[in-house]
A and B are shown apart, each in its own frame.
Chain A
């Protein structure tokens, strides 16, 4: 007689034990109502019988502040330019994924940081620009009354990526390149939001953003006037990463989430949630606009160690090049 009751009791305890919470640190734009976060949460909770909780903010600084005591099980939204510093902290664990089949323009080898989406950095323009530049050199050669808004490399991930881009292309001549670009720079903003706002308000002819930005205007606004400048030599590749923490108290759940990242349930939320390309999704599963989006043939990519080694000097070159 008592057996069913005991069984029910065990079942209850078991269900309580499995209703665990996975804490994922993520940037605001990722976890917000308009980002991919909500769809990913629903899809993951359906298969893990757990609860996924996003904690938003500046992901890496917060984890470095909290150190080994961090409540984070997984961090999402790191950029490749932060990777070396994140790795040096020793706070992150191996992702355990097969990264040989990613649908990215470069092969990925790191076994700690797992890409979940990517796009190319690009200057976005509209019909006011009659002859858009087809290379970085052509960009530098544009008339000096062209108005371009970029972001500060000391405050913005996109701004930092641009500095790397110039350093990679021009090396010792990076200072000269900045001096040539300087007259065309309307202003340098703290973040992407301010810069893009100035562009859509008609204040600037071009803005530093991503090759995938036009997809939003096409799909959500039916506006095909905004385009990305595709460069012959390739555009700088921007990759967003996730990693699980060594100090997680939910190692199994964190591992399951890392497995989930490369699955369709996660990846299909990316194009129209984060307006970028999923790291692993067959082309036919992409929305049509993304399939026909112009992208560069080549991707310029700087690996984490090189990026870390040249970061400070590249920023100083940028500073001096624009100060003159």
Chain B
């Protein structure tokens, strides 16, 4: 019986969960331990808390609401270049902050194309700064993630269901009620939670575009406590506050979630029989608008960077190579953590709880905690790249789980039963059932983990030295040395590499799946 494979999976999952706990709560404990007592937090931190909460609610809600029509349009339309559009639209999420900020400013800034057009038409201008700038940037970053998660939900509805609905003569509205709404009810709360928690820990975005005391987040307060006041006590209190907030978010999301159970399908293309005519036009418009919103800033970064690409020094290319290796290691490790956790999750509650910790954690607290735990035994720069790979694998875990857990749940309900009845277990079951069925979310998880790791700057700052710099760090160095053109070139290179990694893995996962 398949029971033979369960204990192995479960102990691997327990091991993975322990590692996640150590990296998140363990590092927080290390910081608190070194702090020798907690410190109070002042009115500035209270204001930051309120701003953080409301902008996260608004940003997450907007991202998720806007994602539904986009994902629906992508799920029911097939057109040339659809795969490329899906991949490219995912790009903002994996962008390093500074690249995204430069792109958004180029499009929505005072001298950007949007305002030039508005001025020509005699319309009032828009500003990408202040609170609306924070929300604009967060939707820009997180809409692609929301679209992918919701799209994943649509693709998880077996094609046979739609065929059945069509043969019963169901119109779009009826399909929505019978098939799409139950799926959305199970997918949206989790997506909202992920994005809410992401916006809670947002730091550089709010600072660069939001600007100023009116738009200060908790993560900035942590940075301030650590970097400027060297107050580890305040940093750990704020880190705990962040954890508590995400915990409340998780509880709320579970309360809302109604897992939809679908009978097994064959994993084919989502063919649809409903929605011709004006729905076709509506879908085309939605896809075009979303693509424009998400791709124009990337295009702006690309155009700006072409000139600088040719004159980049060798150090940039070495940094790029280092970043690629870290990204590959991080992706592999992320999957090694996520797969057993997803497979072991019966109802997914504890996995989601452990899985949400990394986004609730402050990267700054994690970095500082690991530093405190390690520097007595090893030189930080010797483990800089390994630590970056590990921390980014853990940070990408929530996204990998969000993609894997629903798919694994359905697999258990579907082909899992067949495998059980055939007595398949161990490696054979993994190779013949699990991996082929989960191929799509695995590809997505690997791609996302690799790309996120590629653009990371948070953790490495405490550990790296000149010889272990990654590409984002090198980009900041170029800017700090006034080499703006070369920095633009490095930004383009970073953008291209992140996309290529994501595309490569995601493409691999979707091969033969007909998407």
User: A: which residues have CB within 8 A of B?
Assistant: 28-29, 31-35, 37, 54-58, 60-62, 64-66, 69, 71, 85, 147, 152, 154-155, 160, 185-194, 196-198, 200-203, 213, 216-217, 220, 275, 316, 318-320, 322-323
A189 near B479 with CB under 8 A, answer no
B483 near A34 with CB under 8 A, answer yes
CB contact list, B445-488 vs A, under 8 A:
461-466, 473, 476-484, 487
- Least CB separation from B43: chain A residue: A316
A58 near B462 with CB under 8 A, answer yes
Is B179 an interface residue, CB under 8 A from the partner? no
Is B379 an interface residue, CB under 8 A from the partner? yes
Interface 0/1 of B173-215, CB less than 8 Å to A: 0000000000000000000000000000001100111111110
A220 near B98 with CB under 8 A, answer no
Selecting from B68-76, B105-113, B256-264, B333-341, the interface stretch reads B105-113
B105 near A203 with CB under 8 A, answer yes
Q: Can you list the 10 inter-chain pairs with the closest CB atoms, starting with the nearest?
A: A187-B211, A34-B481, A193-B479, A154-B224, A190-B207, A29-B480, A188-B212, A319-B213, A188-B211, A32-B477
24 residue pairs bridging A and B, Cβ less than 8 Å apart = A28-B473, A28-B480, A34-B477, A34-B481, A35-B481, A54-B466, A55-B465, A57-B465, A60-B230, A64-B230, A69-B375, A71-B379, A152-B220, A155-B220, A186-B110, A187-B209, A189-B208, A189-B211, A190-B204, A190-B220, A196-B482, A197-B479, A201-B111, A323-B213
Is B313 an interface residue, CB under 8 A from the partner? yes
Q: How far is the CA of A45 from the CA of B251 in the complex (A)?
A: 60
The contact of B230 among A61, A160, A200, A320, by CB within 8 Å, is: A61
- Least CB separation from A190: chain B residue: B207
A191 to chain B: which residues have CB within 8 Å? 476
B58 to chain A, nearest CB (A): 19
Q: How far is the CA of A223 from the CA of B113 in the complex (A)?
A: 25
A62 near B462 with CB under 8 A, answer yes
- Least CB separation from B42: chain A residue: A316
B479 near A56 with CB under 8 A, answer no
A187 near B224 with CB under 8 A, answer no
Q: How far is the CA of A192 from the CA of B228 in the complex (A)?
A: 16
B484 near A200 with CB under 8 A, answer yes
B230 near A194 with CB under 8 A, answer no
B481 near A32 with CB under 8 A, answer yes
A201 near B214 with CB under 8 A, answer no
B376 to chain A, nearest CB (A): 7
Name 17 extra pairs, CB < 8 A, besides A160-B228, A191-B476, A213-B482: A29-B480, A31-B465, A35-B481, A37-B466, A57-B461, A57-B465, A58-B227, A152-B207, A186-B129, A187-B133, A188-B211, A189-B207, A190-B208, A193-B98, A200-B484, A203-B105, A203-B110
- Least CB separation from B210: chain A residue: A187
Q: How far is the CA of A322 from the CA of B106 in the complex (A)?
A: 26
- Least CB separation from B127: chain A residue: A186
A85 near B102 with CB under 8 A, answer no
A147 near B110 with CB under 8 A, answer yes
The contact of A322 among B44, B213, B464, B465, by CB within 8 Å, is: B213
CB contact list, B468-515 vs A, under 8 A:
473, 476-484, 487
A58 near B211 with CB under 8 A, answer no
The contact of A193 among B105, B111, B372, B480, by CB within 8 Å, is: B480
Q: How far is the CA of A322 from the CA of B212 in the complex (A)?
A: 7
B482 near A187 with CB under 8 A, answer no
Is B368 an interface residue, CB under 8 A from the partner? yes
Is B252 an interface residue, CB under 8 A from the partner? no
Interface 0/1 of B211-254, CB less than 8 Å to A: 11110000010011011101000000000000000000000000
B102 near A197 with CB under 8 A, answer yes
A193 near B465 with CB under 8 A, answer no
The contact of A192 among B105, B464, B473, B480, by CB within 8 Å, is: B480
A194 to chain B, nearest CB (A): 5
Interface 0/1 of B367-395, CB less than 8 Å to A: 01001100110010100000000000000
Q: How far is the CA of A162 from the CA of B463 in the complex (A)?
A: 29
B208 near A194 with CB under 8 A, answer yes
The contact of B44 among A28, A64, A160, A319, by CB within 8 Å, is: A319
- Least CB separation from A316: chain B residue: B44
Q: How far is the CA of A217 from the CA of B315 in the complex (A)?
A: 23
B204 to chain A: which residues have CB within 8 Å? 190
B465 to chain A: which residues have CB within 8 Å? 31, 54-57
A188 to chain B: which residues have CB within 8 Å? 207, 211-213
A287 to chain B, nearest CB (A): 15
A29 to chain B: which residues have CB within 8 Å? 477, 480-481
B106 to chain A, nearest CB (A): 7
The contact of B371 among A65, A318, A320, by CB within 8 Å, is: A65
B381 to chain A: which residues have CB within 8 Å? 55
Is B143 an interface residue, CB under 8 A from the partner? no
Q: How far is the CA of A197 from the CA of B209 in the complex (A)?
A: 13
Is B101 an interface residue, CB under 8 A from the partner? yes
B335 to chain A, nearest CB (A): 30
A318 near B379 with CB under 8 A, answer no
CB-CB under 8 A for A202 and B111, given A28-B473, A193-B476, A197-B479: yes
B483 to chain A: which residues have CB within 8 Å? 34
- Least CB separation from A200: chain B residue: B484
Q: How far is the CA of A202 from the CA of B106 in the complex (A)?
A: 9
The contact of B479 among A35, A147, A196, A220, by CB within 8 Å, is: A196
* A32, A54, A216 pick with most chain B CB within 10 angstroms: A32
- Least CB separation from A319: chain B residue: B213
B111 to chain A: which residues have CB within 8 Å? 201-203
* B106, B129, B210, B220 pick with most chain A CB within 10 angstroms: B129
B223 near A201 with CB under 8 A, answer no
A69 to chain B: which residues have CB within 8 Å? 375-376
Q: How far is the CA of A85 from the CA of B460 in the complex (A)?
A: 25
Q: How far is the CA of A286 from the CA of B19 in the complex (A)?
A: 55
A155 near B484 with CB under 8 A, answer no
B371 to chain A: which residues have CB within 8 Å? 62, 65
- Least CB separation from A201: chain B residue: B105
- Least CB separation from A187: chain B residue: B211
Q: How far is the CA of A55 from the CA of B466 in the complex (A)?
A: 7
B453 to chain A, nearest CB (A): 19
- Least CB separation from B106: chain A residue: A201
CB-CB under 8 A for A203 and B109, given A188-B211, A322-B214: yes
- Least CB separation from A63: chain B residue: B230
B225 to chain A, nearest CB (A): 9
A320 to chain B: which residues have CB within 8 Å? 213
- Least CB separation from B480: chain A residue: A29
A57 to chain B: which residues have CB within 8 Å? 461-465
The contact of B105 among A65, A154, A198, by CB within 8 Å, is: A198
A201 near B376 with CB under 8 A, answer no
A34 near B478 with CB under 8 A, answer yes
A55 to chain B: which residues have CB within 8 Å? 381, 465
- Least CB separation from B460: chain A residue: A57
